Structure 1
Amino acid sequence: MVQLLQDLPPHVAAYRAAGAVSKEEYDQVVITRVDEVARRFGKINFLVLLETDMDNYSIGAFMRYVAVSFRHFSKWERMAIVTEERWLRTAYDLLGHVVHGEIRTFKIDQLPAAKGWVSGPLAT
């Protein structure tokens, strides 16, 4: 299940993933919101709260994640990845050195800090 997080500024695309995540659900919820933020602001701040294992993402949902990442490559500004999965935080910490924008990882109990950081203003 994927649901948008509503308590963030309009320039932030944020969602929570719990349980199984299908391609269709990812398209309808996440891709729609990311495209909307990119169109409206020209930049994207992004937060994902992963309360599920990556094993629960369908291959289609994962491929859509990769596709949207490349489609908006130069528009990513701040990405907050919130998960208890240590390997995933490590992977994103490493990825942060090679992708556009800044990536920070947080544990779930640090969600308020993640929201505060990702809510920062977009660069002009």
Structure 2
Amino acid sequence: MLTIIPDLPDHIFGLRASGEVTKDDLQQVLLPGLEKLSEQYKEIYYLLVLETDVRNFTAGAWVQDLIAGIKHLTEWKKMAIVTDQKAVEKFTDIFSYLSPGEAKGYKLTELPIAIGWLSHKA
């Protein structure tokens, strides 16, 4: 399930992932949020708090995630993935070298630091 994180700076779109994450979650929560941010700011600052194992994302969810990433490829400015899954945190740091924007991985206890980093526009 994806839920929107409230009370973030206006230019940041934040989601919390828990339990199983499906194609419908991405179509109903992630994609509309990215579209709104894209229309309003023409750039994307994204926070994902991952409280579920990445294996709980269905195949359909991964496809939708890929579509969202490609559709907004040039608009990604900063992405923070907050998780206690070491492999995901390391992948996020490596992904930063491949993506047009910056990406950083943080531990769950570092959520305020991640929000602070995203708050400063690139």
| TM bucket, shorter chain | over 0.9
Counterpart secondary structure, 1:38: helix
Runs of 5+ in structure 2 lacking a partner?
Answer: none
Q: Which residue is 2:20 aligned to?
A: 20
| Alignment TM-score, normalising by the size of structure 1 | 0.95
Bigger mean CA deviation after superposition, 1-10 or 47-56 = 1-10
**Equivalent pairs, count:** 122
Offset of 1:38 from its aligned partner?
A: 0.6
Q: Do residues 111 (structure 1) and 111 (structure 2) align?
A: yes
CA distance in 1, matches of 2:81, 2:112: 12
Match of 1:41 in 2: 41
Q: Deviations over 1:36-94 (max 9, x none)?
A: 10111000100000000011111111111111011100100010010111011111111
Q: Which residue of 2 aligns with 1:54?
A: 54
1:12, distance to aligned residue in structure 2 (A): 0.9
How far apart, CA to CA, are the structure 1 residues paired with 2:13 and 2:80? 10
Q: 5 Å matches for 1:76-91? A: 76-91=76-91
Which letter maps to 2:53?
Answer: D
Partner of 2:75: 75
Identity of aligned residues (%): 32
1:112 counterpart SS class: helix
